[in-house]
Structure 1
């Protein structure tokens, strides 16, 4: 790689998206590194704007409440996402990831968006003892209204969290982890509507464990 390309990528990575987050935080992916692919946006302006909204409206409020957030993965270029899809590395098709992990493409409706897969270390000890991811999900639903969707994974209670420009899009909360309260993996929030089990429980009561964790 030429010195000019190195300088360009270095300057690009220094782009500040919010008070605590820089573009560099969101560019590293093992798939890209292993295959020697530069995971950088084609449409830099769009990627920065979508990423800035994700950081300012979703990640900063989370970090303010919970302390440092660990970024597992976030932005994917079309090339990297396509490769991940072909390798079966938990990457959806490019088109379904526009305005999600692919920050630098608008979706078919013309909206921008951005997704990051994150871990909240402060919550992790509780999750590993209880298997309960739902308390965190409901806390975010109640306290970070700018999120659009969440999808939880078994390892480290990592989860995808998204910001989406279309404010009419209803919230969803999904998981690959069994819900310890119901024993299934169904969505606990679909099209903005809670599953039947949670409709019987006041919202604040659903995230009581989070209140205890944050108080200590």
Structure 2
């Protein structure tokens, strides 16, 4: 598939079903793209679809089966969009939290291989039902431990708001868990 340049082509990409519950369209929305008018589409749609399918089938579907609806906060970013967000963050603009393209390759930038030539995909998600049941300080760890014991994730990174977390699939999983929510720091160091 070619990089979408028309509404018809973008509609076709958005309709690609990555798993039982998720379509590519679910992962393309970005507040940064919407506010700044930047098109958030993959340069290599076939690679983005391939790794997005792994993310959905191996991680997001089992999460949804166990904990209820998975709400996507942020997921796929084009290299252009991510570089813009990183530049805005470095300039001190509020609300921009994009790491460098190198750090987000095979992460939020699904169609860019990492420095080792490997593939991966990341999404920031919220599990509303889990949040409703587990809001006490540190209860994000219940979910982190369940994922660690049950899913082939690469990395988890938890945040204080609604226990949102980045979850990553990677062809060489690191198996690491870090949190910006209390208690802050590493729960599992993993590989790498």
TM-score scaled by length of structure 1: 0.81
Q: Secondary structure at the match of 1:187?
A: strand
- Find the counterpart in structure 2 of residue 170 from structure 1: 174
**1:131: how far off?**
4.4
- Asked if 2 retains the 8 angstrom alpha-carbon contact of 1:171 and 1:190, the reply is yes
The aligned length equals 182
Of the three residues 90, 94, 103, the one matched with 1:96 is 103
- Which ranges of 4 or more aligned residues in structure 1 deviate by more than 6 Å? none
TM-score scaled by length of structure 2: 0.91
- Asked if 2 retains the 8 angstrom alpha-carbon contact of 1:75 and 1:103, the reply is yes
Rounded to whole Å, the distance in 1 between the matches of 2:185 and 2:163 is 16
Rounded to whole Å, the distance in 2 between the matches of 1:22 and 1:170 is 26
- Find the counterpart in structure 2 of residue 78 from structure 1: 79
Larger radius of gyration: 1
**1:123: how far off?**
0.8
- Asked if 1 retains the 8 angstrom alpha-carbon contact of 2:137 and 2:182, the reply is no
Q: Secondary structure at the match of 1:128?
A: coil
Unaligned runs of 5+ in 1: 180-184, 193-216
Rounded to whole Å, the distance in 1 between the matches of 2:40 and 2:105 is 15
**1:127: how far off?**
3.3
- Find the counterpart in structure 2 of residue 160 from structure 1: 166
**1:108: how far off?**
1.0
Rounded to whole Å, the distance in 1 between the matches of 2:167 and 2:134 is 18
1:191 and 2:161 equivalent?
no
**1:191: how far off?**
2.0
Q: Deviations over 1:29-86 (max 9, x none)?
A: 0000101111000001110001001001011111111111000010000011011111
Q: Deviations over 1:10-32 (max 9, x none)?
A: 11110110111000000000000
Rounded to whole Å, the distance in 1 between the matches of 2:134 and 2:121 is 26
Unaligned runs of 5+ in 2: 90-95
